[in-house]
Amino acid sequence: MRDSIQRYYKTRQKTEHLCEPLEPEDFLPQASSFVSPPKWHLAHTSWFFEELILKPFLPEYRVFDERYSFLFNSYFNSLGDRIERANRGLISRPRVDEIFAYRHYIDHHMSIIFEKYYNQEIAELVRLGINHEQQHQELLITDLKYTFSFNPIYPKYSDQHYLPGANKSADWISIEEGVYEIGHKGEGFCYDNEKGRHRVFLENFEISEALVTYGEYIDFIDDGGYSNPRFWLDDGWHWNNQNGMKSPLYWKKIDNDWHHYTLSGLKKIDKNKICAHLSFYEAAAYAFWAECRLPTEFEWEVASPKLNWGEVWEWMNSAYLPYPNFEIAKGAAGEYNGKFMINTMVMRGSSRATAQNHSRNTYRNFFHPSSQWQFSGIRLAK
C-alpha cells in the first residue's frame, strides 16, 4: 500500500511535468469533440480523486469549488450532469492557475487520506485513479498533437515526438492450436475489462514479429491503396471517400516527399520506422492488400511473450466485447469500461506515449475503427 502512495505522487507530478513545454495558450483549444484540452485533462484527473475518494471517505472534506463537479465530469451519468463534450474548449474560466491550485488542493487532501484513512478499499480506488490519470497522460499527448495539427505553423511541443522506432526482427512466429487462457492473472492492477480469466481455443496461426513500416505503407499507397475498393471493408471505403483520404492523418507531400506533422514539428518521413496514426479501416485495407490479416486479440495475447511490442498500439481484428463472466463494477466505476463495449475495435500493446508501467499484455484498449489520432499501427497475422 505504501508503494501506491509513492506512485500517486509520482503520477501526479508526471502529469504536470508533461505540461511544462506548453505555452499558457496551449491549455485551451480543443479541435474535436473526441479530444480534450490540456486544462480539462488536468482538472478531470483531480475531479476523479475528489469524486471517488475525497467526497465519500474524507469526512472533513470541503469541495474546492462545487461547480467543478459539472465542469470536469467526463461521462459518468451516475455522478451527475456535465458540460457537453464538444464545449470543453470554451471554458476559459476557471483559469489555468486555478486548475493547478485545484490539483494541489486535491493532493493535499489525499495526503490526509493517506495519513488517517487509508485502507484496502481506498487503496484500490487510488490505484484506479493512478491508472486513470496515466491514461489521461497519454490522451493529453495525443489530443495535443491532434489540436496542434490544425495550426498551419506546425507548433513544436518538445524534442520528443513519441513516434515508434524500427523493427528488430522480421520473423514469423508459429503458434500451435489448443486451449489457451486469456485475461488478467495475479495481484497486479488491471481494469475490469481484463478480468474473468477464461479459456479460448485457437487454431494454428502465424504472427509477424515486425510491425508495418512507413516504407511498406507507402508501397500500399503507391499501389493505389486509397483508390481501389477491393482492399477495403465497405464502411472503410465510405470513410475513405467521405474524407477524401489520400494518406494517413498528419501526412503532407512536399516536393514529392512524404512529410508528417510530429510533436517536434513537420518532419520528412523515415521509411524504416514503424508506421503510426492509422485507423482500423486503413489497417484492415493494408492487411488485405498484403494478403494477410490482422490478428485477433486472443492470438495476440497468447503470442505476446514471443513478440517485441510497445512501439505502437496494434489494431486487432476483434470487437471490444465483454469476456465471459464480465462483471460491471458497482457505483461510478461501473461506467469505466463496460458501456463502451459496442462499435469499437480492440487495440493491444502500447505506444511510446503510454505511461511507464502502464502497459501489460492483457490490456484492452478500444477505439472506433475510424480513429487515427492514437499512435496506432499494424501487425500482420496469417
- Positions that interact with its own copies (CB under 8 A): 23-31, 39, 67, 70-71, 75, 77-78, 83, 87, 89-96, 147-148, 150-153, 155, 177, 179, 198-201, 203, 205, 229-230, 232-237, 280-281, 284, 293, 317-319, 321-322, 324-325, 339-343, 345, 369
Q: Minimum Å distance from CB 378 to its own copies?
A: 16
Contact 269/214 with Cβ under 8 angstroms? yes
Collapsing DSSP to helix, strand or coil, 184 comes out as: coil
Place of cell 481506498: 122
58: which 3 cell numbers?
474524507
- Of residues 268, 287, 88, 365, the one with CA closest to residue 375: 365
The residue (of 93 and 108) whose beta carbon lies closer to its own copies is: 93
Q: Minimum Å distance from CB 111 to its own copies?
A: 28
Cα separation, 205 vs 219, in Å, equals 26
The residue (of 129 and 295) whose beta carbon lies closer to its own copies is: 295
Q: Minimum Å distance from CB 114 to its own copies?
A: 31
Burial of 104 (0-12, 13-18, 19+ CB in 10 A): middle
- Of residues 38, 52, 234, the one with CA closest to residue 131: 52
- Of residues 329, 304, 302, 320, the one with CA closest to residue 203: 302
The residue (of 37 and 164) whose beta carbon lies closer to its own copies is: 37
Q: Minimum Å distance from CB 77 to its own copies?
A: 4
The residue (of 32 and 359) whose beta carbon lies closer to its own copies is: 32
The residue (of 221 and 233) whose beta carbon lies closer to its own copies is: 233
Q: Minimum Å distance from CB 254 to its own copies?
A: 16
Q: What are residue 166's DSSP bridge partners?
A: 273
Number of CB atoms found within 10 A of residue 228's CB? 13
Cα separation, 48 vs 133, in Å, equals 9
| Rg, the chain, Cα only | 21
Q: Minimum Å distance from CB 200 to its own copies?
A: 5
166: which 3 cell numbers?
524500427
The residue (of 126 and 381) whose beta carbon lies closer to its own copies is: 381
Number of CB atoms found within 10 A of residue 215's CB? 13
Q: Minimum Å distance from CB 357 to its own copies?
A: 28
Contact 318/346 with Cβ under 8 angstroms? yes
Cα separation, 262 vs 364, in Å, equals 26
The residue (of 141 and 345) whose beta carbon lies closer to its own copies is: 345
Q: Minimum Å distance from CB 221 to its own copies?
A: 19
According to DSSP, the β-strands at 198-202 and 178-182 are antiparallel
The residue (of 127 and 364) whose beta carbon lies closer to its own copies is: 364
